[in-house]
Structure 1
Amino acid sequence: MRLRNRHGASVDPVPFFVVVGLAFMILLSFGPLYGQALGFPLEIAIALSAAAFTVAAVAAFYRQVWTFRPEHTSAVPSAVRAERLFQLIPILAALLVALAVPLVVG
Structure 2
Amino acid sequence: MKLRNREGTAVDPVPFLVVTGVAFAIAYSYGPLYFAALGLPIGYGVAVSTALFLAATAGTYYRLVWTHRPVRREEVPVGERFERLVLATVACVGVVALLALPLAM
TM-score normalised per structure 2 = 0.88
Whole-Å Cα distance in 2 between the matches of residues 77 and 15 of structure 1?
19
**Structure-1 residue corresponding to 2:44:** 44
TM-score normalised per structure 1 = 0.87
Poorly superposed stretches of 4+, deviation over 3 Å = none
Counting aligned pairs with the same residue, the percent is 47
Whole-Å Cα distance in 1 between the matches of residues 77 and 14 of structure 2?
18
Whole-Å Cα distance in 2 between the matches of residues 82 and 3 of structure 1?
25
The answer to whether the Cα contact below 8 Å between 2:34 and 2:102 also exists between their aligned partners in 1 is: no
Q: How many residues align?
A: 105
Written as runs of structure 1 = structure 2, the 5 A alignment for 1:32-71 is 32-71=32-71
The answer to whether the Cα contact below 8 Å between 2:4 and 2:65 also exists between their aligned partners in 1 is: yes
Q: Tell me how large the CA RMSD over aligned residues is.
A: 1.4
- How far 1:9 moved relative to its partner? 0.1
Whole-Å Cα distance in 2 between the matches of residues 41 and 99 of structure 1?
18
- How far 1:78 moved relative to its partner? 2.6
Whole-Å Cα distance in 2 between the matches of residues 49 and 31 of structure 1?
5
